[in-house]
Structure formats: structure tokens, C-alpha cells
Amino acid sequence: MRITSLLSLFLFCLLQWSVAREVIPFNSDWAFKKGPFTDDVMQFGAVFQGKWQTVQVPHTWNATDMQETTIKVGSLGKNERFYVGDSYYRKSFAVPAAWKGKRVFIKFEGVNTNTEVYLNTKVPAAKQEKGSINYTEQTATNSYQFVGRHQGGYSAFVFELTQMISYGQENELLVKVNNEATPQVIPVNHTLFPMYGGIYRPVELIVTDAVSIATSDFASSGVYITQKNVSKKNADIGFKVKVENKTGKIQPIEVVTTIYEKDGTVKAALKSPYSLLPQGRQEVKYEINVKNPHLWQGLDDPYLYKVVTQIKKDNQVIDEIVEPLGIRKFELIASKGFFLNDIKYPLYGVCRHQDRLGKGSALSNADHDEDLAIIQEMGATSIRLAHYQQSEYFYAKCDSLGLIVWAEIPFVNRVTTHEENNALQQMKELIRQNFNHPSIYIWGLHNEVYTPNTYTVELTTKLHDLAKSEDPDRYTVQVSGYNVVDHAVNNNADVQGINHYFGWYNGELENQSEKNDDVETWAKRISEEFKDYKLIFSEYGAEAVIEDQAEVTGNFGNQFSKPEFFPEDFATRFHEINWGVIAKTPTLIGSYLWNTFEFATPITGLNVNPRNYKGIVTFDRKVKKDAFYWYKANWSKTPVVYITQRRVLNRGNEITPITVYSNQGVPVLKVNGKEVKNYKMGTTEVHYIFENVKLELGENRITAEVKGRSDGKAVGDEIKWNYDPKYKRAVGEPSVTKDEHVGL
């Protein structure tokens, strides 16, 4: 009897699921052709002649050319090293006759930068040759219909195909993509980071009933979840569900919401009857009180409920959306810090760009997972996803891992006065598409945009107002590249972010004169003058090329001015000094180092490659620099004992300091088996500097170890240096020549 009941229940659930929406991956076997082209797409000229390459999505045509070393400038002064312009994608797909009466949508998660979509219901014959698709001008037809246009390379967008597709036949999508920078679309240039052209995030077909939860509400889920009165005893969870009816008749429906525990048991549920009109998109609003909620507590306990919202008609499920629910509340208190569920919680922040060596922005979920694993290893609690909306998968993983997220739009670097409409559009897309991610605590409005001041202030204020209207429960932040808190364009958001690189672009690494600020002098001053402001140190960092090694780098001001040599040791000391100040400055209620990973900068590339080397992990994710272990020792709960300068193998100084990071207490340092006891503390309690250590001629074995831990295990590190006076260099000079070996 029990088996029969379970089988009946399974069949009943299967029947209900079978009529709910279908989400179909649409990523394989796209035909691709890169321009430039001379003819307009609707004239079917050169676009359809010759070979098309078969590609899989995610795909970018700039995977390598935006990362190459040779810069080529055209006769008109335009950078021609990487391709920007038009490219085309096309894909055939069969539309079942059974979809007649359904609604069919195409969803692109990210296409960079400007997109036009066309649909052809009379597909010309195609011949496969060596993995490419041959089309001739004669086989192309004029049956393409314009579907829609989207501007902006980082947010998702949806177009409905219902009235255009031919049911029971083959259909073909044609997608025109252009990644040229324009004054109307943010970002307005390729300066701070590259706009990798292509369909570089996943695509899917969505098939729904004629009565459904809205699919094309700025590509959101159509379900918006809010939280009020959150405590360990209660939480009021609000719902706004946008529904549509294309049947032409009033439809009696039920909106059913169920909140599930991790183990699948029901925590709470509500059924709301509703008479759905045939005109307009309608909103169903209701609230569910959750008793004794299991709170989402960041990395310590990232507990997620599952929320299933269903539309039922005649007791059958005709649509369904599944969303995460992390019950929590955030609070930023000036000069005190960030509080998660009334508990002070550190914002150990890192910034992240989405690209990587050899792939550009066309990343797999495994790539995202690797980045997150590295960020977790170092002990970061928060990520600034700079400077644009990033992958839906990445936000979802941050939810499940407990990482606190700063999400922002690509309004960066420069103002053209033509970008207002697009900036507002992208702000709305960012918020609606990511509304239900519990990890997101703040919306970024702009980064380092200034003149004309009046226009910038007005647009920032509009972005703030839009964000607060769309989502009153989260903070907004704007970011200035000046170290002046009360700059003319600042303080038009809830929080003011400050980017500054003392000793890199300007100022000094350590105070050497009264002319220039260093980070400590600045932090003391703003702590006195702006203690009532919510301030975040939103960027700080220094470039470090792992091939560039110096035994002693000195205290250079404006190291940026020497792009031929970016020694790792300077960046290491930069982070030691900056974090030492941040850790003892409560006015800085959060901080974000720039950057976790090296990334491409195709216009402003310095040194040899068009790359920003401020990442504390290399572009290929293979090498974690000394600064990575500095933060791991300071932030992580994982035992760390680490000796720095491991890549400066050839040493020219017989007497030298040795730096060890240890979060396990005082390390025992030995050089060639002999213990070194003289040390001083550095900028934090994990920073041990052993002074006046004498090296022997030839190879030196250096070990650091901490014993006597509660678990009985020793933690240690070992490196080898080669000392010879012939390697002695002046302060700030490379420790090796190009033909000498440096272990990386």
C-alpha cells in the first residue's frame, strides 16, 4: 500500500512538472563569422559569403588578441591590435508543433557589447566542410525578421519569439554583435578593462504556458523576495510575483509559495487565489512569517532555504520559479563596521575581474569555481565584483559559500554626457536580475567618474534614487579615485568608496616628507574629519610582475612611473603597510584590495604585456604572489607559516632581513640549520621580520616552523637562496639579468 502511494505521488508530481516551464540550453553548434563587413545584414551581402566557424557558447573572438604583446596603431590613431566591430552568430533549431499555444523566449546572459537579434523561418541549406559552414549569397533569403536590440555587455536580456517562429519547422537565429566603445553605452571605452566581443555567457530557450510568471521583466526571475524584522525568532518574508496572461480570458489561478529547508522539509508555505486579467502584467503581493529562522551568517553558516513559487490552474502546476532565500540583515555603522544579523562581521574584501589568460571572458563554471576557491583560501569574506555585472553562476555560488558581495554597473573612468539612459537601464537590470541573492549587500553606482561635475552628480543621484526605488533595503555606493572624501562629486550615495594607491600613482608608500600623504597620515586625517561618514577603502594595490625581482626595492614614490620594472617585493611591502593601517582604522568600515587576479588592459597596458599586474595571483591562476599569503595569514583561519621573497633566488647581500608570515605564533627560523632569534614585529601580529641574518656563500636553506600547536602538528615553510657577491645590485635594481635563472 505504501509503495503504491509513493508511486502515485511520484506520477502526480511528474504530471505537474511536465506542464511547467521548460528551460533548454542553447549553447552548442553556433556558426560564427568575424568582420569587418561592408554590407548591412539585411542586404545579405558579404556576411553570408564564405566559411562560418562552428563554435560553442560561451565564446569570444577576443580570447587572445586583447592579451597579446604587440601594439599596432592604425593610420588614424586607432588601436588595431585587437578586433572591435561587427561579428555574427547563427543557429538553427527545430520548433516542435506542440509548442503552439505556448510562449517561447530566448535569453542571453551576456553578450558584449551591442546586440541585434533576427529570426529566419526559412533556413537555407547548409553544407558542413571541415567544421565550418558554407553559405553563398544565393542561398541566403530575405525572410529575417528583427527581434530586438540590447545595449550593454554585462547584463542578461530576453526577447520573446512566440509570434515570429514557425512551429513544426526549422528556425534560425541570427545575432549581430558589436564590441566597439560608444559614448551612449557604458563603459564608454576599453581603457580600464577590455570589452571582449561575443556571446560570452550561456544562452537558453525558455518555453512557458500562456499564463506564466513574467520572463521578460528585464530578464529577472519575475519573483522578488524581501525581508523585514529579521531575528532569530521571526522573519517577515515578502513576495512580489509578476504574472502575465496571454489567453485572452480571465484566468482563475493560485500562486503557491513554499519555503523548503535544506533537507527538503517544508518550513513555511502560502497559497493565494488570484483572478488574472488578460491585460497587462500584474503583481501578486503577499507575506510569509517564518518562525525561528535559520539565519544566513556569511562564511560561518551560509544557510540557504529554497523558495519554490508556482502558478497553479485547475490544481496543476503551469509555471514554477525556484529562488534561494538566505534570511539575514545587513547594517553599516559609521566608524564601527559591518554588522550581519547584529553581529560585527569583518569585510575582508577583494576585487575581481572576470577574465583570464587565453579565455578572455568566455569562462566555464569550473573557471568561476577556481576563482572562488582561491578567494576562499586567502580568507576573504567579501568580493567587489568590479566593474560590471558578473555571471549569475558566480552570484549564486557566493550565496551558497557565504561571501558578501558588492555588485556594480560599468559606469567607470570617463563621462561622455550621453550615457545616462543606458546607465539607468543597466542599473535596473543589475538590481532586478540579482534581487534575490542574499550575498549582495550594496549596489555600486559609479567608479572614478568626475567632470563635468554637475552632470556626474545629477546622474549619480538619479542612479541612487533608482536603486532605492527598486530595492530600498540595500545600500548604494559610489567610488572616487581622489583621497578627498568631500570631493565635489562625492557623497551622493549611502556609502562613499575611496580608491587610492599611496606610493604608486601619487603620495608615498611610507611618509618621507610633509609634502605628500602616505596611507597612515591620510587615514588619521579622515578619521578625525569624517568619523560620521560611511567610508570604504574600495581599492588599493601595486603592480607586481613575478619575473621582476629585487632584493631591496627601497621606498619609491610613484612607482607607476617606472613601468619597465614592477618588482614583486615593492607590491608585497605595499600590502603589508596598507593592511596594517586598514586593520587599525575603524573609520574604514570595509576595504577591497585591487586585485585578486591580474587582468587585461588592452589600451593602457604597461610593462611588456597589455595587462594590469596588481593581481596578487597571476593571470593564469598558477602563481600566488607573496601578497596573497600576507592576506591568508592575516585573514584566514587556516594555519599559515610563509617565508617571503622566494622568487629572489640569487642574493647579493650577505647580511639580509628575512620576513615570515605566521598566524600560529612566533616561528622558529633557521638558516642552514642554525636558529635565528632576533626579530621585530611588522605591521600586524602575523608579521615577523628577522634582522641582520648572515648568509653563506652558495646555497642557503631557510626554514620557518611553529610547533606545539594544540593538534600536535607542526606548520612550516622552506626556501633556498643562492648568495654570491656578484649578484649585488643597487637599491631598486633587478636582482637578476634576463639570462639568469629566476624560479617562479
| Whether residues 372 and 476 fall in one domain | yes
**Which pLDDT belongs to residue 731?**
74
| Whether residues 38 and 179 fall in one domain | yes
Q: What is the DSSP letter of 725?
A: G
Does residue 257 sit within a domain?
yes
Q: Judge whether residue 743 has pLDDT over 70.
A: no
Query: Which of 243, 394, 256 is closest to 322 using CA atoms?
Result: 256
d(CA 25, CA 77): 42
pLDDT tens digits, one per residue of 200-229: 999 999 999 999 999 999 999 999 999 999
Q: Of the residues 448, 520, 568, 576, which is catalytic?
A: 448
Backbone torsions φ then ψ of 194, nearest 5 degrees: -85, 145
448 is catalytic: yes
Note the Cα 71 to chain centre separation in Å: 28
What's the average model confidence in pLDDT over 233-246?
98
Does residue 66 sit within a domain?
yes
Query: Given its phi and psi angles, is residue 292 left (phi above 0), alpha (psi -120 to 50 degrees) or beta?
Result: left
CATH at residue 699: 2.60.40.10
Give me Rg for the CA atoms of the chain.
Answer: 28
Backbone torsions φ then ψ of 700, nearest 5 degrees: -125, 130
Residue 141 or residue 483, greater confidence: 483
d(CA 103, CA 318): 12
d(CA 467, CA 412): 17
Q: What is the DSSP letter of 246?
A: -
Does residue 656 sit within a domain?
yes
Query: Can you give the pTM of this predicted structure?
Result: 0.92
| Whether residues 43 and 113 fall in one domain | yes
Residue 128 or residue 180, greater confidence: 180
- Say if CB 394 and CB 431 are below 8 A apart: no
Percentage of the chain lying above the pLDDT 70 cut: 88
d(CA 271, CA 241): 13
Q: Which stretch, 33-37, 65-69, 304-308, 547-551, has highest mean pLDDT?
A: 304-308
d(CA 11, CA 686): 60
Q: Judge whether residue 10 has pLDDT over 50.
A: no
Q: Cβ neighbours of residue 275 under 8 Å, at least 6 residues apart?
A: 250, 251, 252, 253
| Whether residues 573 and 612 fall in one domain | yes
For the chain, how many structural domains are there in total?
Answer: 4
Does residue 743 sit within a domain?
no
| Whether residues 627 and 721 fall in one domain | no
- Domain extent for 51: 21-209
Residue 471 or residue 481, greater confidence: 471
437-474 CB burial, b ≥16 within 10 A, e <16 = bbbbbbbbbbbbbbeeeebbbebbebbbebbbebbeeb
| Whether residues 598 and 703 fall in one domain | no
Distances (CA, A) of 241 to 107, 256, 257: 20, 10, 10
Mean pLDDT of the chain: 90
| Whether residues 565 and 491 fall in one domain | yes
Q: Judge whether residue 732 has pLDDT over 90.
A: no
**Set of cell numbers at residue 178:** 558589436
| Whether residues 408 and 310 fall in one domain | no
Q: Judge whether residue 132 has pLDDT over 60.
A: no
CATH at residue 441: 3.20.20.80
**Set of cell numbers at residue 104:** 517561447
pLDDT tens digits, one per residue of 425-470: 999 999 999 999 999 999 999 999 999 899 999 999 999 999 999 9
Three-state SS string across 409-438, please?
A: CCCECCCCCCCHHHHHHHHHHHHHHHCCCC
Q: Cβ neighbours of residue 540 under 8 Å, at least 6 residues apart?
A: 499, 500, 501, 502, 519, 574, 578, 591, 593, 594
Does residue 205 sit within a domain?
yes
Query: Which of 554, 591, 558, 590 is closest to 573 using CA atoms?
Result: 554
- Say if CB 230 and CB 340 are below 8 A apart: no
Does residue 5 sit within a domain?
no
d(CA 622, CA 516): 37
Confidence band for 316, pLDDT divided at 50, 70 and 90: very high
In the chain, what are the helix, strand and coil shares in percent, each to the nearest 5? Answer: 15, 35, 45
First to last CA, the chain: 67
Does residue 218 sit within a domain?
no
| Whether residues 135 and 35 fall in one domain | yes
Distances (CA, A) of 463 to 73, 150, 389, 458: 37, 20, 15, 9
Number of CB atoms found within 10 A of residue 365's CB: 12
pLDDT tens digits, one per residue of 503-560: 888 888 887 666 678 999 999 999 999 999 999 999 999 999 999 998 988 765 566 6
Strands (E), 79-194: 86-94, 103-108, 111-112, 114-120, 127-129, 132-135, 144-151, 157-160, 170-178
| Whether residues 469 and 489 fall in one domain | yes
Cis peptide before 595 (omega within 30 of 0): yes
Q: Judge whether residue 28 has pLDDT over 80.
A: yes
Q: Cell numbers 569587418 label which residue? A: 36
Pairing of β 535-539 and β 223-228: unpaired
What's the average model confidence in pLDDT over 462-482?
97
Residue at a domain's end among 325, 344, 364: 325
pLDDT tens digits, one per residue of 598-653: 999 988 755 557 899 999 999 999 999 999 999 999 999 999 999 999 999 999 99
**Which pLDDT belongs to residue 708?**
75
Q: Judge whether residue 13 has pLDDT over 50.
A: no
Number of CB atoms found within 10 A of residue 677's CB: 8
What's the average model confidence in pLDDT over 97-124?
90
Confidence band for 134, pLDDT divided at 50, 70 and 90: very low
Q: Cβ neighbours of residue 528 under 8 Å, at least 6 residues apart?
A: none
| Whether residues 360 and 260 fall in one domain | no
Q: Cβ neighbours of residue 12 under 8 Å, at least 6 residues apart?
A: none
Does residue 4 sit within a domain?
no
Residue 15 or residue 366, greater confidence: 366
Helix (H, G, I), strand (E, B) or coil at 11: helix
Query: Which of 322, 330, 109 is closest to 203 using CA atoms?
Result: 109
**Which pLDDT belongs to residue 18?**
46
Helix (H, G, I), strand (E, B) or coil at 477: strand
What's the average model confidence in pLDDT over 654-665?
97
Number of CB atoms found within 10 A of residue 220's CB: 23
d(CA 129, CA 123): 18
- Say if CB 475 and CB 495 are below 8 A apart: yes
Q: Cell numbers 536580475 label which residue? A: 433
**Which pLDDT belongs to residue 517?**
84
Alpha helices in 355-498 (DSSP H): 365-377, 392-401, 420-434, 453-470
Residue at a domain's end among 570, 604, 637: 637
| Whether residues 455 and 518 fall in one domain | yes
Residue at a domain's end among 297, 325, 353: 325
d(CA 643, CA 660): 5
Number of CB atoms found within 10 A of residue 342's CB: 12
**Set of cell numbers at residue 471:** 530595492
